[in-house]
Structure 1
Amino acid sequence: MISLDPAKNDTSVTLNLLRAIAAQVVCIGHAWGVGGLGKTYVPADGVLLFFVLSGFLIAYTLDSKSESPSYGLVDFGIERFARIYTAYLPAILAIGLATLGLRWSDIEIVADPVDLKTYIGNLFMQQNVPCCLSVGTFGTAGQLTSVALEFHIYFFVGAIYFLLCGKNVLLCSLVAAPFSFMPLAYFSNIPGTDRALFVLWLMAFASYYVVKGVIGYRPNVLFWCLAFVVTLATWLIERTPGDDASLRQYPMLVLSFLSLVLVSQHVRIMPYRLAALITVAADYSYSLFLIHLTILRLIFSVWPGETVWRALCAIIVANAVAYVFALLFERHYHRVSDWIKAALGRPSREWRGGPPARASAGDGQS
Structure 2
Amino acid sequence: MRKQIPKRWVIEGKLSIVLDLIRWTAAAIVVLSHIKGLYFVSYSEIDNPSWYLKIVYAISSLGHQAVMVFFVLSGMLISANVMKAVEKGSWSWRTYLLHRLTRLYVVLVPALLLGLLWDYAGNSAFGATGIYDGLPEDQFILNYSSASLLTSKEFIGNLFFLQGVFVNHFGSNGPLWSLSFEFWYYILFPCMVLSISSKANSLKILYTLVVIALAFMLGEHILLYYLVWLLGFVLHLLPSSLTRKGVVFALLWPLLAIAALGGARFFPLPLNDYLQDLLLALAFSGFLYGIKLAYYRKPHVSPWLRRTSSLLAGYSYSLYLAHFPVLVFLHALTYDREPRKWQPDTQTLAYGAFLFIVISVYAWMLAQLTEKQTTKARRLIERLFLRIPSSRKETYSSFSRSK
1:344 aligns with 2:372: no
Q: What residue is the counterpart of 1:61 in the other structure?
A: 81
Counterpart contact for 1:55–1:202, Cα < 8 Å: yes
**Corresponding letter in the other structure for 2:180:** A
Mapped to 2, the partners of 1:236 and 1:49 lie a distance apart of 15
1:320 aligns with 2:343: no
**Which residue among 21, 38, 61 is the counterpart of 1:17?**
21
1:203 aligns with 2:210: no
Structure exhibiting the larger radius of gyration computed from Cα positions: 2
Mapped to 1, the partners of 2:371 and 2:111 lie a distance apart of 10
Mapped to 2, the partners of 1:49 and 1:128 lie a distance apart of 20
TM-score scaled by length of structure 2? 0.74
**Corresponding letter in the other structure for 2:11:** L
**Corresponding letter in the other structure for 2:91:** Y
Q: 1:184 to 1:86 in 2, by over 3 A?
A: same
1:330 aligns with 2:371: yes
1:233-312 pair list within 5 angstroms: 233-236=255-258, 238-239=260-261, 244=273, 245-265=276-296, 267=298, 270-303=301-334, 304=337, 305=340, 306=342, 307-312=348-353
Mapped to 1, the partners of 2:102 and 2:206 lie a distance apart of 20
1:1-366 pair list within 5 angstroms: 1-2=7-8, 3-6=10-13, 10-38=14-42, 41-107=61-127, 108=129, 109-110=131-132, 111-112=145-146, 113=148, 114-129=150-165, 134-166=166-198, 169=203, 172=207, 176=211, 179-181=214-216, 184-186=219-221, 196-210=224-238, 214-215=239-240, 218-220=241-243, 224=247, 228=250, 230-236=252-258, 238-239=260-261, 244=273, 245-265=276-296, 267=298, 270-303=301-334, 304=337, 305=340, 306=342, 307-342=348-383, 343-348=385-390, 349-351=392-394, 355=398, 358-360=401-403
Counterpart contact for 2:319–2:363, Cα < 8 Å: yes
**Corresponding letter in the other structure for 1:35:** Y
Counterpart contact for 2:100–2:399, Cα < 8 Å: no
Count of residue pairs the alignment pairs up: 340
Q: What residue is the counterpart of 1:363 in the other structure?
A: none
Mapped to 2, the partners of 1:122 and 1:102 lie a distance apart of 21
Determine what percentage of the aligned residue pairs are the same residue. Answer: 24
Q: How far does residue 262 in structure 1 lie from its aligned partner after superposition? A: 1.7
Q: How far does residue 313 in structure 1 lie from its aligned partner after superposition? A: 1.8
**Corresponding letter in the other structure for 1:139:** G
Q: 1:202 to 1:309 in 2, by over 3 A?
A: same
Could you say what secondary structure the match of 1:246 adopts? helix
Mapped to 2, the partners of 1:179 and 1:97 lie a distance apart of 33
Q: How far does residue 269 in structure 1 lie from its aligned partner after superposition? A: 6.7
Mapped to 2, the partners of 1:291 and 1:262 lie a distance apart of 34
Counterpart contact for 1:184–1:198, Cα < 8 Å: no
TM-score scaled by length of structure 1? 0.81
Counterpart contact for 2:78–2:402, Cα < 8 Å: no
Q: 1:357 to 1:126 in 2, by over 3 A?
A: closer
Counterpart contact for 2:72–2:281, Cα < 8 Å: no
Mapped to 2, the partners of 1:341 and 1:69 lie a distance apart of 21
Q: How far does residue 176 in structure 1 lie from its aligned partner after superposition? A: 4.6
Across the aligned residues of Structure 1 and Structure 2, the Cα RMSD in angstroms comes to 3.1
Mapped to 2, the partners of 1:209 and 1:219 lie a distance apart of 14
Q: How far does residue 300 in structure 1 lie from its aligned partner after superposition? A: 1.6
For structure 2, the residue ranges without an aligned partner over 5 or more in a row are 1-6, 44-59, 133-144, 267-271, 343-347
Q: How far does residue 337 in structure 1 lie from its aligned partner after superposition? A: 2.6
